[in-house]
Amino acid sequence: MSGRRPQLEVVADAATAAARAAELIAARVVAGRARVLGLATGGTMVPLYAHLVAAVRAGRLSLSAVTSFNLDEYVGVAPQMPASFHAYMRLHLLDEADLDPARAHVPDGMAPDLTAEASRYEMAITRAGGIDLQVLGIGANGHIGFNEPGSDFGSRTRVLELSEATRRANAADFPDGAVPERALTMGIATILEAREIVLLAIGAKKAAAIAAAIEGPLSPNCPASALRLHAQVRIICDKAAASQLDGPQADIRRQA
């Protein structure tokens, strides 16, 4: 079983890829097709959020009616800590745009009962009517959210162990190098319930993961390959991230 091939846009460079992803998200929000957003963190998303903030400040976009749900949070990292995804979202979006913080949801990695918190988060997404547009990055090992290789395609929001590769990749966010060993993450099934998905990938370090996700086996060994089970997935990447694809690629939409 190979699944569907996602829509693929290969653009000239990282800046163009981030701008294109932000353009798509903004268009969906303006059209009323993305009242509930699923949001991601990481370095790839920083320029994307900068574009959204600029659009809000220019009056081309409002996020005031949007509800958001972040993919994940580290276990044991308090929201006020700089390395938390709560802090990331405040820094890059919430403090800069008009998205109501009360409608911006991030899993609680400090919850005393993490299983109950995972269930609460799933229920909150359901009560909001489900996610209209889920934004994703991709790990070098093919993870989406913090769903590491081996994650079941039927998985829901839960606690899981982070791989050594993921912890090394995120070590720069922790000055003492003490990256948490666990995280709360939306599961793959939760992600696949979004009505539309856009994945942004930038740089040669993501090339192998993109190739595996699009052209490799449909397998938990590459969690992102599960996106081929969804009918509305768009992958936007720069030429470097697409460099290991063997099959026909999308046209280069724009030049630097």
The tens digit of pLDDT for each residue in 113-157 reads 999 999 999 999 999 999 999 999 999 999 999 999 999 999 999
How confident is residue 252, by pLDDT bands cut at 50, 70 and 90? very low
Q: Where are the domains of the chain?
A: 7-200+210-236
Amino acid identity of 140?
A
Q: What are the Cα distances from residue 236, in Å, to 14, 44, 48, 136, 255?
A: 10, 12, 12, 10, 14
What pLDDT score does 175 carry? Answer: 83
- Alpha carbons 99 and 116: distance in angstroms, whole number: 27
* Chosen CATH of 7-200+210-236 out of 3.40.50.1360, 3.40.50.150, 3.40.50.970, 3.30.70.100: 3.40.50.1360
Percent of the chain with pLDDT over 90: 91
Mean pLDDT of 210-214: 97
Is 13 a catalytic site residue? no
User: One of 70, 141, 147, 170 is an active-site residue; which one?
Assistant: 141
Is 105 a catalytic site residue? no
What pLDDT score does 1 carry? Answer: 56
Task: Give, as one character, the DSSP assignment of residue 6.
Answer: P
Is 143 a catalytic site residue? yes
Global pTM reads 0.94
User: One of 122, 148, 193, 196 is an active-site residue; which one?
Assistant: 148
Phi, psi of 36 (to 5 degrees): -125, 120
- Which of these, 2, 39, 26, lies nearest to 194 by C-alpha position? 39
Mean pLDDT of 50-64: 98
User: How far is CA 49 from its chain centroid?
Assistant: 12
User: One of 9, 70, 72, 230 is an active-site residue; which one?
Assistant: 72
User: One of 86, 105, 143, 230 is an active-site residue; which one?
Assistant: 143
Mean pLDDT of 77-81: 96
Phi-psi region of 111 (alpha: psi -120 to 50; beta: other; left: phi over 0): beta
Is 86 a catalytic site residue? no
